[in-house]
Copies of this chain bind each other. A is one copy, B any other.
Amino acid sequence: MGSTFIHTYVSVDCVVFGFDHENRLNILLVQRFLDALPAEKQKKLPGSLILSDEDVDDAAQRVLHELTGIKKMVLKQFKCFADPLRASNTDDIQWMDKEYKHNIDRIITVAYLSLCKIDHKINSSKYDTVDWCPIDKVPSLPFDHNQIIEESFVEIKRWIEYDFSIIFELLPKKFTIRQLYQLYNALSEKQIDIKNFHKKISSFNYIIPLNEIEKGVSHRAARYYKFDAKVYKKNNNKLIK
């Protein structure tokens, strides 16, 4: 056959979401080092080339572990990005030469979504700098990382629409309905008012009220709730809802 087939390096890139105390979705960015650029211009998504004896899912778990120190994180492969020109920027080529000591011409990447409670201690074994960045403040990133983040935001909404239990991965173990509401609004296209939200939520038997209310808050102290995964699983396996 006369056609040329690609023969390429393959990487994984991870978009880790967190939900902060100001009700914003954040993602984890790391620092890359390139002499020519000022440090603040060198953020990127955490990722890695995959090793010769590694499957992609294992590579993503490795990246997340090196990134956060957390052994097993919820993760979801969502898309392979393979635009032939995605690694053709001069800075990016220079950085890959330095980081990997390989002459990399083309590289395709498999993108993963992950979720993290934002209070969880980040303990990276690989990166000196790991920072939460609000999703609407993400700077211009190398390769197609901005596009990957954009598509991951669509994907996280789909994931939660398909499996609502995923939303609780972003909340503390005990949470108020207001917190759940604000996270929901940060993720949803359509805004819903809090009264209707309360009504809807109170019909979900997997959201369990606790005998505990907020302490030391200036507004009226709200009740805490927890999510019951077992009850959720029992009731949510229908094709038509």
Q: Which of B1, B82, B240 contacts A164 (CB 8 A)?
A: B240
Within 8 A of B (CB), among A1-17: 1, 3-10
Give the residues from 126 to 184 in chain A that come closer than 8 angstroms, CB to CB, to chain B: 157-158, 160-162, 164, 184
| A6-B239 contact in complex given A1-B100, A110-B80, C-beta closer than 8 Å | no
Question: Which of chain B's residues have a CB closer than 8 A to the CB of A82?
Answer: 10, 50, 55-56, 110
Q: Is the CB of B1 within 8 A of A6?
A: no
* Residue from A52, A190, A238, A241 having most chain B Cβ neighbours under 10 A: A52
A108, CB-defined interface residue at 8 Å? yes
A156: min CB distance to chain B, Å: 11
Contact call B10/A108, Cβ cutoff below 8 A: yes
A188 proximal to B (CB < 8 A)? yes
Least CB separation from A5: chain B residue:
B49
Q: Can you name 27 A-B pairs with beta carbons within 8 Å?
A: A1-B100, A4-B51, A4-B52, A5-B52, A6-B10, A6-B51, A7-B7, A10-B10, A10-B82, A10-B108, A50-B82, A54-B84, A56-B80, A56-B82, A56-B108, A82-B110, A158-B162, A161-B162, A162-B162, A184-B240, A188-B238, A189-B237, A190-B237, A190-B238, A190-B239, A192-B240, A200-B240
Kindly list the 10 A-B residue pairs having the minimum CB-CB distance in the complex, ordered from nearest.
Answer: A5-B49, A56-B82, A4-B52, A188-B239, A241-B241, A80-B110, A6-B52, A80-B80, A162-B162, A55-B82
A interface list, Cβ under 8 A from B:
1, 3-10, 49-56, 77, 79-80, 82-84, 100-102, 106, 108, 110, 157-158, 160-162, 164, 184, 187-190, 192, 200, 237-241
